[in-house]
Structure 1
Amino acid sequence: MATQNLLVELFVEELPPKALRKLGDAFAGVLFEQLKTQGLVTSESKLTSYASPRRLAAHVTAVASHGADKAVSQKLMPVSVGLDTAGNATPALLKKLQALGADASAVPGLKRAMDGKAEALFYDSNVKGATLAEGLQKALDESIAKLPIPKVMTYQLADGWSDVKFVRPAHSLIALHGGEVVPIEVLGLKAGNQTRGHRFEAAAETVVIRNADDYAATLEKDGSVIASFEARRAEIVRQLADAAAKVGGGAKAIEDEALLDEVTGLVERPNVLTCEFEKEFLEVPQECLILTMKANQKYFPLLDAAGKLTNKFLVVSNIRPDDASAVIGGNERVVRPRLADAKFFFDQDRKKTLESRVAGLSKVVYHNKLGTQGERVERVRAIAKAIAALLGDTQVAAQADRAAQLAKADLVTDMVGEFPELQGTMGRYYALNDGLALDVADAIEDHYKPRFAGDTLPRNPTGLVVAIADKLETLAGLFAVGQLPTGDKDPFALRRHALGIVRMLMEKDLSLSLGDLVAKALGLFPQAGAETAQQLSDFIYDRLAGSLREQGYSAQEVDAVLALRPQRLGDVAKRLAAVRAFAALPEAPALAAANKRIGNILKKADGTVDAHVSEVLLKEPAEQALYAAMKDVAPKAGKQFESGDHTGSLQTLAALRGPVDAFFDGVMVNAEETDLRLNRLGLLATLHQAMNRVADLSRLAT
């Protein structure tokens, strides 16, 4: 069947810029999948998605004008219901056939086949494939229904009576199959071949698309619009780089993927211009200036070769006038008050010390069940002191206490009130302004780290202690009052806090016990029940397990190591490496299976098995040989474990494979004589302890 390329465009009012990329991909993706479902595209068909501030469009190659007919076998009813004893059709069968467009003449051709335990009648027919108009109508309706719309608008149609709901008011619809208009209708619009271009710079008020393949080129030529989101984004990147190069001195536009996507969703014909502001504003911390330019104005600040902010910035304009001076001047006038506000906030905030602001935290509510930020600060201080004491560093203890006391003080400054994203960052600047030690100032900024996956960790021990304390306080407090994450809902980012603690304990190899940390944190919350510690520990280990699997460790490896609940998380990586090396040994499968067998035997034993062996009760040669091998191997493996050589410890234990196999082949553990049975169970318990110090090896058994 001959095919042609298809174009569909929905022209609308300006779409939400932050959501534009997602809207464009969803619009085109669902449309294509629906066409595929109806057999209107082939395996060779290709989809191109377009999205600009005022349009969503899709171009699909090799689209048929009519779907292929399909042979369909439809179950009607059991034979006992459809045919009487003489084999004639019952009224129920005739009614069913009539509903399918057939009559009694179709009865002899019905097929019989078993359906479960009963024989049923089946009607074979050819279903005509959908026409393109029918299929595209259904596909477009589905595409619009499934758009991930941030917020729906309701607006009236031209008749003044009807209204529709969509992300923004829609004005025109294009549906072209080759050069032919496909007669479909959506949102009160009938398909045609006309759209509109750039609001101000289009060569013609109406842009006519003659053929589906001419869309992007015609829109750019006659409409002054780059329809492709990706092409427009790439053009902005190119222009930003060119403009920065013209400034010289190694200048580079700040990299921000989210800002780049948002600006791409704001312009149809990008034109990057270079602007500047007064150098006196550079006295303000650059984070403040960068944030106000990016967040409020969607500008791209320029950094020098050393990464310091310059007094120049780049604007992505949506127009290309011959003389851009008015556009440049306008943007410079607009940004000046924003920078002046930032300078004013910075100057005002420095008139008071951070310490003088701590009292104000007692008026800031943290959580209705957990009190104020002031109360929270005292809890973080207590946890930080406990952590520093466990680490045995008195200097860090003093600095961590000071940093924890001041860490939240910038929340009541003017700058952070205006820009909450700068909490911690401004605290560091104000701490240095107050003459505090650099380690304390750094810790005030770093105690929020890591803020996201891949973020850096605190840069010094003081910052690590306060960051762990801060996250522990959050987790312990919210678990204590029952505010646990559910499903994909985690309003307090507890998963992120748990992963942050895991990363710091592991990557910095801190000699801290997770159980001790959880206990000390929960001890500050009288609301915590007896089971809260277990809940919180399980939550942290679950986050650790997920993180390790993402790093490439197998579920078996992770399960084997974490089954023992290692308290020092810095050891986890060594244990995993040891398990991986052990699993590669030829003895590993047999030892893992034996370990699993031993575990099951010990579970079924009456009462607690004492890991003790009496040599005089070892009667069988196989149990004597196993005990002798254990006396030789276990101490060596134990020393290696204690010294941190987990891999060596497990490899040493591999020598027990032969004696273990011989034991199970030649010894009956559950002997009738009580003393023999208990002694053999004790031997297995001793072996079980020796083999499972690094990981639960039974988890490696297949």
Structure 2
Amino acid sequence: MADLLIELLSEEIPARMQAKAAADLKQRVTDGLVEAGLTYASAGAFHTPRRLTLSVEGLLATAPAQREERKGPRVDAPEKAVEGFLRSTGLSRDDLQIRDDKKGQVYMAIIETPGRAADGIVAEVLEKVVRNFPWPKSMRWGAGDLRWVRPLQSILCILSDESGHRVVELNIDGTRAGDVTRGHRFMSPGEFSVANFDDYAAKLKRAHVILSAKDRADHIWADATNQAFASGLEVVEDPGLLAEVAGLVEWPVVLMGEIGADFLHLPPEVLQTSMREHQKFFSVKDPKSGQIVRFVTVANRTTADEGATILAGNQKVLSARLSDARFFWDNDLRIAKSDLGQWVSALETVTFHNKLGTVADRMARVSALAREIAPLVGADPDQAALAANLAKADLQSQMVGEFPELQGLMGRYYIAEAGHPADVAAVAQEHYAPLGPSDQVPTAPLSVAVALADKLDILAGFWAIDEKPTGSKDPFALRRAALGVIRLILHNKLDLDLLALVRRALVPFATKLENTAFELLSFIHERMKVNLRDSGFRHDVIDAILGLDKGNNNLTFILSRAHALSEMLKTDDGENLLQGFKRANNILAQAEAKDGVEYSYGADVKFAETDAEKELFAALDRAETVIAPAMQAEDFATAMSAMAALRAPIDGFFNAVQVNAESQIIRRNRLNLLSRIRTICLGVADLNRIEG
């Protein structure tokens, strides 16, 4: 067994590419080794701004000899088919064997590969990987043909075992593999040799390079939070920025600086966004006020003045950036306070979609729809219409023009500064939500009304122009919009007729209303199924609820029924009732098919011959008196419980009674009795769809 160490040292790799590149190196190299017969015990990949590293432990020192039998075409196949088979195997016709097969005689290729030392295999695999590496962008330099993300400076490739280490012979366009690497570009630029991975990692650290990206991130976060805590402050969590910054430095040095007093009045989100996007700075806030008061930057080296010069330069650049943000904020505030309507009017010049009009056209539709939804969710119709009309005004602000990710949030500030109520202002930010399966769901009535109207308008509009999702393609994020509708309704336990809302949303598009409405409702149901499955519901339970004709327009009903049915099926009574229902339904279906009639009424207790029959009649009467009002009251748990209570009398009936009696009167009465079982059960859930 041997251990393999590979390092590809280059100029700086963009931070966003490093993690995937390390994973690609690991997968492609290890896959290539295994395909060549070299198995291994474990492998680990690492990345820094300048290097991709792969460590493979427990690698076979020699690939065993391999023998492969490959079946070819029939002996009487066209010549071109035989030639293609020969090319794929690398053999000549004389090397092929002829064997009998079910369909005649066929050619058989015996491909024998002798055992090979790991060195040659590693060299071949690594060269192939390097030359065909899947960088999103790559470049050529010098006179060679090799492409890499940045100029490749050196290749370290060694195999080590108990006896020592050896360099794998490899030369890629003049870059020869060795056992040498370099430390930090500025603090330890000299070369040094390594003998194995442990030696490599230890020497790198002494040369001011922390190999693990996680270790660099942990160091940055720990040092930043400690410095902030010492000043009574907190670092604003930003996992994405932390990962990015860890990819910008090999030896992180955390420095905390001041934000100029002239900028402290800016909204915290503006300061945070500006510093993150332009400078890759972390924001530091005062936990008492929530205001951003300082920043944290991460240098890539220690300095004699303990970072004072670096901080001074960063603060100077930051002041220039924040001066722009302050100008945008002050100018936007002036417009918002004096004439917010000019931004709303300007939306008439912004095309939403060439078939669906401008953003202003869309928000007029949303405003009208929100007015109608408002009373259904406990909101004021006039306020809902106003909030929808203002919701996207900030798209015309300079701040959102500079930082698009602040849309909605800045609208909340500007609408409030214009003198509107806080709940109207909040709609600008909250009507976009939820944007995904884990995003927070609005609960304020105005926000819920406008968020629903916004998403229903998107769905109705693109359905009307026949721009529906196909396969994995969903360019207008309609699946996300449907999930947003579902989560808004379920999270807020809204009692809404969704089909009626879909029809209303489609009205402005003068489309074939009914067919399109049902198609769109079906699409939302499909997303509902995904949502319920992700929440842990069985697929057959979901189908049993959605298979009902009544109640499918109300998503809250669907969820409540799914919960109740799931709980019932977890009990012995529920499982046994299911078997009794299926037995009754099968007997009934066979009789109806045979007799050509539907047994759906007329069961009379006076024709009951046994106590078991009489008890089933009584049980069905009791169940109906409970189930009907429970369903009316949307008390699905009580309805399911009453249905489960039928288990014993149904079992007793089948144990004591022969349905297909000789007397046709008794037979018809018993079949009509089974029909009552079917009708009662199917009124609660479509048990035909439950498996088992």
TM-score range, shorter chain: 0.7 to 0.9
Q: How many angstroms does 1:34 deviate by? A: 3.0
**2:419, 2:585 → 1: CA distance?**
61
Q: How many angstroms does 1:263 deviate by? A: 1.0
Deviation larger for 546-555 or 430-439: 546-555
Tell me the residue number matched to 1:442.
426
**1:628, 1:379 → 2: CA distance?**
55
Q: 1:610 to 1:536 in 2, by over 3 A?
A: farther
Tell me the residue number matched to 1:412.
396
**2:244, 2:523 → 1: CA distance?**
36
Tell me the residue number matched to 1:571.
557
**2:365, 2:157 → 1: CA distance?**
64
Tell me the residue number matched to 2:484.
500
Q: 1:311 to 1:7 in 2, by over 3 A?
A: same
Question: Which of 603, 624, 634 is the matching residue for 1:644?
Answer: 634
Q: How do residues 180-219 of structure 1 correspond to structure 2 at under 5 angstroms?
A: 180-186=166-172, 189-204=175-190, 206-219=191-204
**2:54, 2:115 → 1: CA distance?**
23
Tell me the residue number matched to 2:80.
none
Deviation larger for 306-315 or 56-65: 306-315
Residues 588-607 of structure 1: CA deviation (Å, up to 9, x unaligned): 34433454566676697699
Q: Give the aligned residue type for 1:333.
A: K
Question: Which of 149, 163, 170 is the matching residue for 2:135?
Answer: 149
Question: Which of 316, 323, 326 is the matching residue for 1:343?
Answer: 326
Matched, 1:59 2:59: no
Tell me the residue number matched to 1:699.
689
Tell me the residue number matched to 1:370.
356
Q: How many angstroms does 1:380 deviate by? A: 0.3
Instruction: Give the match's secondary structure for 1:379.
Output: helix
Q: How do residues 34-113 of structure 1 correspond to structure 2 at under 5 angstroms?
A: 34-42=32-40, 45-70=41-66, 72-73=68-69
Q: 1:116 to 1:242 in 2, by over 3 A?
A: farther
Q: 1:439 to 1:330 in 2, by over 3 A?
A: same
Contact 1:21/1:261 (8 A) holds in 2: no
Residues 93-131 of structure 1: CA deviation (Å, up to 9, x unaligned): xx99x9769999x99xx9x8x855668797878642332
- The two structures have a TM-score, normalised by structure 1, of 0.86
Tell me the residue number matched to 1:286.
268
Q: How do residues 203-242 of structure 1 correspond to structure 2 at under 5 angstroms?
A: 203-204=189-190, 206-222=191-207, 224-242=208-226
Q: 1:47 to 1:369 in 2, by over 3 A?
A: same
**1:463, 1:10 → 2: CA distance?**
52
Q: Give the aligned residue type for 2:222.
A: R
Q: 1:148 to 1:610 in 2, by over 3 A?
A: farther
Q: How do residues 367-406 of structure 1 correspond to structure 2 at under 5 angstroms?
A: 367-391=353-377, 393=378, 396-406=380-390
Question: Which of 434, 451, 454 is the matching residue for 1:470?
Answer: 454
**1:462, 1:543 → 2: CA distance?**
25
Deviation larger for 176-185 or 66-75: 66-75
Contact 2:272/2:292 (8 A) holds in 1: no
Q: How many angstroms does 1:667 deviate by? A: 2.4
**2:182, 2:662 → 1: CA distance?**
87
**1:463, 1:64 → 2: CA distance?**
63
Q: Give the aligned residue type for 2:193.
A: V
Q: 1:306 to 1:218 in 2, by over 3 A?
A: same
Instruction: Give the match's secondary structure for 1:613.
Output: coil
Q: 1:360 to 1:117 in 2, by over 3 A?
A: same
**1:291, 1:633 → 2: CA distance?**
61
Percent of aligned pairs with the same amino acid: 35
**2:602, 2:287 → 1: CA distance?**
71
Tell me the residue number matched to 1:326.
309
Q: How many angstroms does 1:680 deviate by? A: 7.1
Q: How do residues 417-566 of structure 1 correspond to structure 2 at under 5 angstroms?
A: 417-527=401-511, 530-564=514-548, 566=552
Contact 1:380/1:473 (8 A) holds in 2: yes
Matched, 1:592 2:575: no
**1:371, 1:683 → 2: CA distance?**
59
RMSD between aligned residues? 3.5
Q: 1:99 to 1:20 in 2, by over 3 A?
A: closer
Q: 1:523 to 1:56 in 2, by over 3 A?
A: same
Tell me the residue number matched to 2:241.
259
Residues 519-548 of structure 1: CA deviation (Å, up to 9, x unaligned): 111222224565322332222122222122
Contact 2:506/2:517 (8 A) holds in 1: yes
**1:676, 1:369 → 2: CA distance?**
63
Instruction: Give the match's secondary structure for 1:691.
Output: helix
Q: 1:455 to 1:119 in 2, by over 3 A?
A: same
Q: 1:696 to 1:312 in 2, by over 3 A?
A: same
Residues 19-62 of structure 1: CA deviation (Å, up to 9, x unaligned): 211221221233223323433233xx222211011111101112
Instruction: Give the match's secondary structure for 1:241.
Output: helix
Contact 2:564/2:640 (8 A) holds in 1: yes
Q: 1:123 to 1:449 in 2, by over 3 A?
A: closer
Tell me the residue number matched to 1:173.
155
Contact 1:72/1:126 (8 A) holds in 2: yes
**1:556, 1:599 → 2: CA distance?**
18
Contact 1:38/1:130 (8 A) holds in 2: no
Q: 1:356 to 1:101 in 2, by over 3 A?
A: closer
Contact 1:225/1:269 (8 A) holds in 2: yes
Contact 1:384/1:465 (8 A) holds in 2: yes
Tell me the residue number matched to 1:89.
none
Q: Give structure 2 stretches of 5+ with no counterpart.
A: 77-82
Matched, 1:613 2:565: no
Deviation larger for 611-620 or 480-489: 611-620
Q: 1:597 to 1:407 in 2, by over 3 A?
A: farther
Deviation larger for 445-454 or 684-693: 684-693
Q: How many angstroms does 1:240 deviate by? A: 1.7
Q: How many angstroms does 1:72 deviate by? A: 4.4
- The two structures have a TM-score, normalised by structure 2, of 0.87
Contact 2:503/2:513 (8 A) holds in 1: no
Instruction: Give the match's secondary structure for 2:463.
Output: helix
**2:130, 2:682 → 1: CA distance?**
57
Contact 2:182/2:189 (8 A) holds in 1: no
